[in-house]
Amino acid sequence: MLGTLGWQELLIILVILALLFGASRVSDLGGALGRGIREFRQEARSEDEDEEEQDQGRTVQAGSPSSSDGSSSDNAGSDSSD
């Protein structure tokens, strides 16, 4: 729906908002909206990076099962020496 609006329609909407709320209030709302969108994008990127790191960690764990086997055998060996 928003894709069908042209620049004329958006200009009319902005003029109506300026008349209703005042020009300074509309600029403050626009700035707050911009900051909100920026923060949302940053969080979305950080979540994507976290998922990639977790996926890489899973492939490393799946590729080296000997590290988990070696730690359990070390613990078993230390228990018998006590």
- pLDDT string in tens for the chain (82-residue length): 556 888 899 889 888 888 888 878 888 888 998 999 999 999 988 887 877 777 777 776 666 555 555 555 455 555 555 4
pLDDT, residue 47, reads: 82
Half-sphere exposure of 27 (CA within 13 A, CB side): 3
pLDDT value, residue 82: 47
> Around Cβ 82, how many Cβ atoms within 10 Å?
4
Give the count of domains, the chain: 1
Terminal CA-CA length for the chain:
73
Residue 11 lies in a domain: no
pTM of the predicted protein model: 0.44
Is there a domain that residue 41 lies in?
yes
- Give CA separation, 8 vs 12, 22, 35, 39, 60, in Å: 6, 20, 25, 29, 55
Q: Supply the range of the domain harboring residue 37.
A: 20-58
